[in-house]
């Protein structure tokens, strides 16, 4: 990613290698389709979808994975078994770039976040 802080999600994605850009755009489209009413912004230097004045979900590109934030207790309760096959940190799940992106799982994550 470039040293300049992005002001839009388009700028954020443009700062990555082409193959990662394609994956980030697919994640963005998946979130957009699952939450069509959500707004887009950059928060904490990451692409962020907002709804009703609050954040809904963040995503971020890294060298070896795409991360989604936050992973809540409700998400773990409903999708814990599926999420357990992915690495993560407190409050996030990491989807490796060298594997197919689980877009259906991302859709379900967003839908659960909409219920939170």
Cα(55)–Cα(43) distance, rounded to whole angstroms? 9
What token pair was written down for 55?
Answer: 């954040």
Contacts of 31 (CB under 8 A, 6+ apart): 38, 49, 57, 59, 106, 110
Determine the pLDDT at residue 23: 97
Cis before 42? omega within 30: no
**Average pLDDT score over residue span 4-14:** 94
Crossing angle of helices 73-83 and 103-115, in 10° steps, is: 160
Inform me whether the pLDDT recorded for 114 exceeds 90.
yes
pLDDT-derived band at 3 (thresholds 50, 70, 90) equals low
pTM for the full predicted model: 0.91
**Average pLDDT score over residue span 92-104:** 96
Tell me what the pLDDT averaged over the chain comes to: 93
């Amino acid at each position: 990613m470039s040293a300049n802080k992005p002001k839009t999600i388009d700028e954020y994605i443009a700062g990555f290698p082409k193959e990662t850009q394609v994956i980030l755009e697919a994640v963005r489209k998946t979130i957009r389709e699952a939450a069509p009413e959500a707004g887009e912004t950059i928060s904490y230097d990451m692409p962020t979808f907002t709804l009703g004045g609050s954040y809904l979900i963040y995503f971020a590109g890294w060298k070896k994975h795409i991360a989604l934030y936050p992973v809540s207790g409700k998400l773990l309760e409903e999708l814990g078994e599926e999420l357990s096959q992915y690495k993560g940190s407190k409050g996030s799940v990491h989807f490796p770039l060298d594997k197919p992106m689980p877009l259906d799982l991302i859709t379900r994550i967003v839908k659960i976040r909409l219920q939170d």
